[in-house]
Amino acid sequence: MKAVTDAGFETAVLKSDKPVLVQYWAQWSDPSRTFSPVVQEIAAEQADKLVTLKMNVDTTL
């Protein structure tokens, strides 16, 4: 799963020709770590229909 930052958000997300799922995460967040495998599974299953990205909220604020 590719990472996105504030600098690339508009291009990668807002101007995407496919629907985009962004996982907002933080290394200290237990729910982020728990949910990550689910997002990765969705990304693999829907790769032809969906763009899946992750954004670290600690480095993009």
pLDDT by residue (tens digit) across 3-48? 999 999 999 999 999 999 999 999 999 999 999 999 999 999 999 9
Query: Domain segments of the chain: what residues?
Result: 2-56
Q: What are phi and psi of 56, to 5 degrees?
A: -80, 115
Cα(40)–Cα(46) distance, integer angstroms? 10
Name the token pair of 25: 């995460």
CATH topology of domain 2-56: Glutaredoxin (3.40.30)
Cα(30)–Cα(20) distance, integer angstroms? 23
Helix (H/G/I), strand (E/B), else coil: 56: strand
Is pTM, for the whole model, over 0.75? yes
C-alpha distances in angstroms, 56 versus 10, 17, 45, 48, 49? Answer: 16, 23, 23, 24, 23
